[in-house]
Amino acid sequence: MTVLDHFPHNNVSRATGDWQPRLHRRHEIVTTGGMAGVLCVGAALTTCGYQVHEFVADVQDGVPYGSVTCTVALRADETTLFAERLREVPTVIAVDLR
């Protein structure tokens, strides 16, 4: 039996033993740079093609750090790559899985 991945990569079918579901995983991302830093995170999520189901930004005047809480559909093996990609954004300080 073959199962097609919900979000296929190159339209390749996979055997059922290899298939992993995409789960809604919540992440908290600590940023610098105020609103511009938060918008850089949003741009990175869009550029990388992640399906973002929730995006909440907390930026306050006079506070050096802001945060983004987002829910993204990821497979278990994609969480590390997700964090690595976001850490490459210059305004990102930390990425934590909730």
pLDDT confidence bin for 76, thresholds 50/70/90: confident
CATH code, domain with 54? 3.30.70.260
84 assigned to some structural domain? yes
pLDDT at 71 over 90: yes
For residue 82, tell me if it sits in a domain: yes
Residue 72 belongs to domain spanning: 21-97
Query: Could you tell me if residue 4 is inside a domain?
Result: no
Note the pLDDT tens digit of each residue in 12-65.
555 556 777 888 889 999 999 999 999 999 999 999 888 899 999 999 999 999
Domain-located, residue 1: no
Per the CB < 8 A criterion, the answer to whether 6 and 22 are in contact is yes
Into how many domains does the chain fold? 1
Q: Is residue 5 part of a domain?
A: no
User: What is the reported pTM?
Assistant: 0.74
Task: Specify if 57 maps to a domain.
Answer: yes
CA dist 59 and 30 (Å) reads 10
For residue 10, tell me if it sits in a domain: no
